[in-house]
Amino acid sequence: MENREYQLEQDAERRLSRVAILVVFSLTLVMMSVNASSLLMEAARDGREINPLFPWLSEGTSAFYILVLFFVLLKVERRFPIEPGHWRQNLAIHAGIAMVWSIVHVLAMGLTRDAIYPLLLDWDYRFFSYPGPVEVFLYEFRKDLVTYTLQLMTLTALRTIEWHRMEAAAARRDARESQRLTLKCGGRVMHLEAEGFRLAKAAGNYVEVEFLTGTHLARITLSELQKQLTEARIDAVRCHRSWLVNKALVTEIRPTGEGDVSIHLDNGQTIPGSRRYRGQLDRA
C-alpha cells in the first residue's frame, strides 16, 4: 500500500512538472516574441534604424536564463509549496529565494550581453554601466519579482489541481474496494455506505446528497459523485443537469408534455428529469 501511494505521488509530481514546463516555456517564449517584435515595430514607427538582431538578443538572453532558473524553482516549490498550514512560512522563504533568483538572473543576463553584443552587434556594451549597478539591479528586480511570482502561482495552481485529482482518485479506489463514498464539507470527511444512496442535487458549489439515513452537504461535483457510485457498483444516473438518482429506486417516469419528465421514487418522492438525460433513464 505504501509503495503504491508513493508511486502515485511520484507520478503526480512528474505530471505536474511536465505541464508546468510546457506552460511556463510557452508563455515565456510568447512574451519574448511579443516584446522583441514590439521593439522592432516601435523603431520602424519612429523612423529609427535598429539592428534586427538586437531585440531578439535582448529579450532572448533574459528569457533563456528565466527558463534555466525555472528548473530551480520547480525543486524549490516542491520543497516549500504554498499550502494550507505552512503558506506564511513558505512565502517568506520564497521572498528570500526570489532575491537570489533575481541576482543570478541579472548577473547571467548582463554578462552574456556584455560578451555577445560586441561580437554580433559590433556594440561595446556595458550592461551595468548606466545608470549604475544598484539602479540596474533594482530596475531588473521589479520585473524579476513579477516573473517569479507568476511562475510560483502557476506551480501552486497546478499542484492544487493535482491534489484534487489524487483525492478524487483515492476516493474512487476506496469506493471500489469498500463500497463507501468519501464526501467532504469544510474540515469534515465523511465515509458513507454507497448502498444507502438515494439521490443528489447540485446546490451552488456544493451537492446535497440524500441517503437512507439522512442528507449531507458535500463539496463535490455531481460528475465526481457519480464516478464514486459507479465504482461502488451503484447504478446512479444523471436525470437532470442538477440531479443524480439511484436508478434502482425509480418506480415511474412520467412525460410532462414538453419533452421533459417527472421521476417518481419508491418513497413517493418526485424529482425532475430533462430530455437531455432521458436516454440514461431508459437504458437497461
| Domain CATH number, residue 258 | 2.40.50.1020
Could you tell me if 220 and 165 lie in one domain?
no
Which residue range is the domain that position 47 belongs to? 2-169
- C-alpha R_g of the chain: 28
Residue 215 near residue 229, CB atoms below 8 Å: no
pLDDT score of 284? 46
**Which DSSP letter does residue 276 get?**
G
pLDDT score of 78? 94
Total number of domains in the chain: 2
Assign 15 a pLDDT band (cuts: 50, 70, 90). very high
Could you tell me if 23 and 141 lie in one domain?
yes
Q: Distance from CA of residue 247 to its chain's centroid? A: 34
Could you tell me if 87 and 195 lie in one domain?
no
The last residue of one of the domains, among 169, 204, 239, is 169
Q: Which residues contact 76 (CB under 8 A, 6 or more apart)?
A: 94, 97
Q: What is the pLDDT of residues 116-128, one digit of tens each?
A: 999 999 888 888 8
Could you tell me if 139 and 236 lie in one domain?
no
Q: What is the pLDDT of residues 187-235, one digit of tens each?
A: 789 999 999 999 999 998 899 999 999 999 999 999 999 999 999 999 9
Residue 218 near residue 209, CB atoms below 8 Å: yes
Give the Cβ contact number of residue 10 at 10 Å: 10
pLDDT surpassing 70 at residue 1: no
Could you tell me if 133 and 260 lie in one domain?
no
Which residue in this structure is represented by grid cell 440524500? 210
